[in-house]
A and B are shown apart, each in its own frame.
Chain A
Amino acid sequence: MAGTESRGRAERRSAGALESEVLAALWATDRPLTPAEIQADIGGGLAYNTVHTILKRLYDKGLVLRDADGRRGAYRPAKNAAELTAEAMHEALDRGPDPIAALQQFVTGLSPEEERALRALLAGGGA
């Protein structure tokens, strides 16, 4: 069932969204990834050629690097801009009334019993 359904979804994902997914996949791991590995990681019936095109676009923007000394054809994320962004973020977080806290964040804090309940959920237990 997942096959056709997710293939249909993949087609509907925009180029910008796919770019984000590939970039997110590269950042999620410490080691460089080949296009094939990225394809397997993202899933959703994405064509190998599409992954390649996206990587080329990210490379042209300077967001990913070809791994020179590692495996041929593998890519890793470029750190410069991301480090600048992190610096700006930490600066904003450290400053007085937290401007970032004012934003809607993906998640906020937890109590100990909530933490236990969430761990149970992730362990595949009952909901």
Chain B
Amino acid sequence: MRIDVYTPLVVSLLLSVVAPVVVGRVGPALAARVLTSAAVLTAVATTWSLVLLATALLGDAPPVVREAREDGHRLVDPVPEAVGVAAAAALAVVAWRVYRAVRAERRTRRALRRLCAGQPADTELVVAASQVPRAFAIPGRPGRILVTSAMLSALEPAERRVLLAHERAHLAHRHGALVTAATLAAAANPLLGPVRSAAVFLVERWADEQAAAAVGDRRTTARALARAALTAGRSGPACALNFTDRSVTLRIAALLAGPPPRLWPAAAAVLALGALPALLAADATSDLLALLSGALH
């Protein structure tokens, strides 16, 4: 248990180091799915490990100790009390962070629903008559694509098709849910922040590839991105995320470089890395249960 319970932390660090490497080497669809799955598994495992460490405090609780002594059991305490207390505190922080992330997610959903008010239900494209150049997908049933008039008039006809195909790909492949999952994982385990950034970048690359396939031209897709970026760059503040601030240039370069590789071995390795802490956490759980039942019976 001593090793099992701390391994998820090491794995989260490894994942955050591996994520940027995977981004450049595995096809975006596969990489996004694999990294997000690994992040979610690891986040669950780290949180559960904290629960286990904090639960070990119960072993020191006077009633348990008394009962165990009365029954003539020898107490084995694998977790120092200080670690148990620290784990309980960390658990409280995790709960707070996840709560905040869920609340932010809800607020976004609500704001998005408001955007579609007054628009006919069975229309894919929602236009906002605005001078702020913006475009994004609004997940839901049915999913919508919101584009401002400023963005539409900045693009050439073929580029508008790229934009629509890109946003359509976000909706068709449920990228919103994928990013939400990565966001919640990073909220539960801050070490997974870089993995979340990688997932955010990868779903954009994924949608770019889908758009290039739909339009049948990688260069037009790259030009659409360039023009949209220049239009959006001129007005309004830029999103200052550590990974995305260079993302458009990286995405354009990737489009011009040709179709991405599909490296299954690398993807499988990342998934295994994510599954490892989950398995170890399960093992640690059975250790703890055995320990507790040993103390109580």
A residues neighboring B (CB under 8 Å) = 5-6, 9, 16-17, 19-21, 23-25, 27-30, 41-43, 61-63, 77, 79-86, 88-90, 92-93, 95, 97, 99-111, 114-115, 117-119, 121-122, 127
Contact = CB atoms under 8 A, between A and B. Distances in A.
Given A28-B153, A118-B252, A85 B124 contact: no
A108 B247 contact: yes
A121 B124 contact: no
17 contacts: A16-B123, A19-B125, A27-B127, A27-B153, A28-B155, A41-B157, A43-B157, A86-B129, A99-B108, A99-B111, A99-B112, A100-B108, A107-B228, A108-B232, A109-B232, A109-B240, A127-B256
B127 A77 contact: yes
Contacts of B117: 84-85, 88
Given A28-B152, A90-B132, A92-B114, A106 B228 contact: yes
B104 A122 contact: no
B292 interface: no
B136 A104 contact: yes
A100 B104 contact: no
Contact of A24 (B164, B168, B240): B164
Contacts of B203: 104
A63 B164 contact: no
B233 interface: yes
Contact of A86 (B148, B157, B160, B214): B148
Contacts of A117: 249
B114 A110 contact: no
B179 A122 contact: no
Contacts, number: 201
Contacts of A92: 111, 114-115
A86 B84 CA distance: 52
Interface of B: 104-105, 107-108, 111-112, 114-120, 122-130, 132, 134-137, 145-149, 151-153, 155, 157-158, 160-161, 163-164, 166-168, 170, 175-176, 179, 200, 203-204, 207, 214, 216, 219, 222-223, 225-230, 232-233, 237-241, 244-249, 252, 256
Contacts of A95: 111
Given A20-B164, A106-B167, A89 B134 contact: yes
B145 to A, nearest CB: 7
B163 A21 contact: no
Contact of B157 (A6, A42, A99, A114): A42
A115 B230 contact: yes
A90 B130 contact: yes
B104 A105 contact: no
B129 A17 contact: no
B128 A121 contact: no
Nearest to B160: A24
B285 to A, nearest CB: 34
Contact of A89 (B130, B157, B204): B130
A99 B223 CA distance: 28
A13 B249 CA distance: 29
A115 B119 contact: no
A121 to B, nearest CB: 5
Nearest to A6: B216
B160 A110 contact: no
Given A19-B123, A28-B160, A89-B148, A108 B225 contact: no
A82 B129 contact: yes
A88 B114 contact: yes
A28 B199 CA distance: 32
Given A89-B128, A106-B167, A106-B225, 15 more contacts: A28-B157, A43-B157, A82-B128, A85-B115, A85-B128, A88-B115, A90-B130, A99-B111, A104-B176, A104-B200, A107-B225, A109-B237, A109-B240, A110-B230, A118-B227
Contacts of B241: 108
Given A27-B149, A86-B128, A119-B230, A114 B216 contact: no
